[in-house]
Amino acid sequence: MADEVSDAGPLAREDQIAKIQLFSGLRHDALRLVAQVAVEESHPMGSVIFRHGDPGEKLYVILEGRVRICREVQGMGEEALAVLGPGEVFGEMALLDDSTRSADARVHERCALLAIHRDAFEDLLFVHKDLAYEVLWNVVRMLTKRLRETNDRFAMLSFASKF
């Protein structure tokens, strides 16, 4: 269970949010609006932030500590996909769609997180159309980058399989 922690201040929040690919390049006033809907949470070591199949409701930025992103593989146990640290982001697609979580997020080392809830974010975009436009273009850039990286990986795998 998450505990809310003391507020690090709006400027610290804006700095953390500016590092998120989804919000990179946003104007200062746009970052301030996003920071206003962000909430700080604290999680003890070993706790589960979310599980595979849970509704995706929040994006998280790690302020301190570490989070392990993992999946249970039948017959093999837990497979760690990544161990993330301060400044890294997880759960960002929860702000964009209604899909369930694709992995577990477990606290690897006691952590403080900055969380942005999808409902608050959607309300913000509904009221501030210019912000919605900027975020939309960041999403397009982010997805295009991921698609190019996937294409490059497939091309490399295809090339490697010929030998």
Residue-range domain boundaries for the chain = 3-161
Q: Greater confidence, 123 or 162?
A: 123
d(CA 29, CA 51): 34
pLDDT at 2: 57
Alpha-carbon distances of 94 from 39, 52, 78, 84, 131, rounded to whole Å: 16, 13, 23, 18, 18
pLDDT at 142: 81
d(CA 141, CA 131): 15
Global confidence as pTM: 0.77
Local structure of residue 100 (DSSP, 8 states)? B
Fold of 3-161: Jelly Rolls (2.60.120)
pLDDT at 47: 97
What is the pLDDT of the chain when averaged over all its residues? 87
